Structure 1
Amino acid sequence: MISSAEESLATHHYFDREFDSAAVKLLPNEYYVTAADMVLSTVLGSCVAACVRDSVAGVGGMNHFMLPDDGSNGGSAAASASMRYGAYAMEMLLNELFKAGARRERLEAKVFGGGAVLANMTMLNIGDRNADFVLRYLQLEQVRVAAQDLRGELPRRVSYFPRSGKVMVRKLHRINDAAQVRRDEQQLVQTLAQQPIRNKVELFDTPVRKKTAQQGS
């Protein structure tokens, strides 16, 4: 039986000539965690990608989710355990980092996406909801946000280097570059007919909640 982690793992490996590096391309609803010196790449419209690493453990990763998991209706385990929802995608990423030796107090996050690349996406507010969700989630889980590039009207190509923590963000102005993103956004609008389902996944490294959150350096 294939686990949720295996089903959601990005598998598109390639060589990135621009960065002269081994690379993995993440599609929507995927994640990847690595200790290798490589680049993780994805393209975002209203979706959000979180890039998280522990520089001491030498491990980092990225995810790509489509919607915040802010619904309250119940549902089957199969339906709720979906990487398209931010709550599950974030917990999946953090759990895999913890398995690889990361420690919560050393985690550094950089978050991207949440744009409104279609006219009707502004009205539906998907990008803003995703952006608000990921910042709120990381604050709750006491993960320091070192950088962010959220919202706006243009799609983004994000290239993340987990070993160094470096991120290259390119806004996609050309019609050809953004065409696939716009098609994906149209499909995303259709998924909103389904009520997001709240899913609970226990983290392997559950923090002790404090009344006053400490800010990272």
Structure 2
Amino acid sequence: MNSDDNLIGRELERSAQVIMPGGWAVERERPVATLLGSCVAVALYDPAVKLGGLNHFMLPRFERVAGRDDVDALLAGDYSMEALLNAMLVRGAKKARLVAKAFGGGMVVSSLDRSQIGQRNVEFARDWLGREGIPLVASDFLGHCSRKVVLDPRSGDVFCKRAASSLAISQRIESQEQVYAASLAQPPKKSNIELF
């Protein structure tokens, strides 16, 4: 990334909608950003309608756990990719025009290195895009670095800034992922609303 790209990326980041693990967004104007460790983010773009979307998933596939119907399926790539694709199509994109850029899968959290979750996330993203016939035109995967990713939906450009895997960055990413995982472990709040 040259200095002009750095300036553009920083400007976009200031106004970006930030998505967390399990999140996704589809936009025409507002940039979308996320911070990745072992997770993967996939950006989809339709140049004809100038529509872009970005997701952020933690695991390749959703595995239902007995007694845990409230687990956020969008943390898994299989659900997250379908949600992003469907949101793009609803907003006017055509699958035949879509291109993808994908990032992440870094080994920055030592407790996750043993499971090779980053590698599995990368393989899932490549396989899914291949099965769907969506060309992967750019990627930055694996390694021992975290990544800040910013999508400009007006142009389809994606800016990826690598950060060396320092203890502080690793702890920040690990903390975000642990907070989200802990929130999933809590039983859902009781509601006075009755669904019928």
TM range (shorter): 0.7 to 0.9
1:116 to partner: Cα distance: 1.0
Listed as ranges, the gaps of 5+ residues in structure 2 are 1-7, 184-196
Corresponding residue number in structure 1 for 2:59: 67
Listed as ranges, the gaps of 5+ residues in structure 1 are 1-15, 192-217
Distance 2:154 2:178 in 1: 35
Corresponding residue number in structure 2 for 1:213: none
Compute the TM-score of the two structures, normalised by the length of structure 1: 0.71
- 1:56-135 matches, cutoff 5 A: 56-69=48-61, 71=63, 78-79=69-70, 82-135=73-126
Structure 1 position 22 matched with structure 2 position 27: no
Of 20, 28, 34 in structure 1, the residue corresponding to residue 27 of structure 2 is: 34
1:61 to partner: Cα distance: 0.5
1:180 to partner: Cα distance: 1.2
Change (3 A) 1:176 1:92: same
User: Is 1:46–1:185's contact at 8 Å kept on the other side of the alignment?
Assistant: no
Corresponding residue number in structure 1 for 2:37: 45
Compute the TM-score of the two structures, normalised by the length of structure 2: 0.78
Distance 1:49 1:188 in 2: 17
User: Is 2:50–2:156's contact at 8 Å kept on the other side of the alignment?
Assistant: no
Q: Which has a greater percent of helix?
A: 2
What is the root-mean-square deviation in Å for CA atoms of aligned residues? 2.8
- Give aligned pairs, total: 175
Change (3 A) 1:75 1:140: farther
User: Is 1:45–1:185's contact at 8 Å kept on the other side of the alignment?
Assistant: no
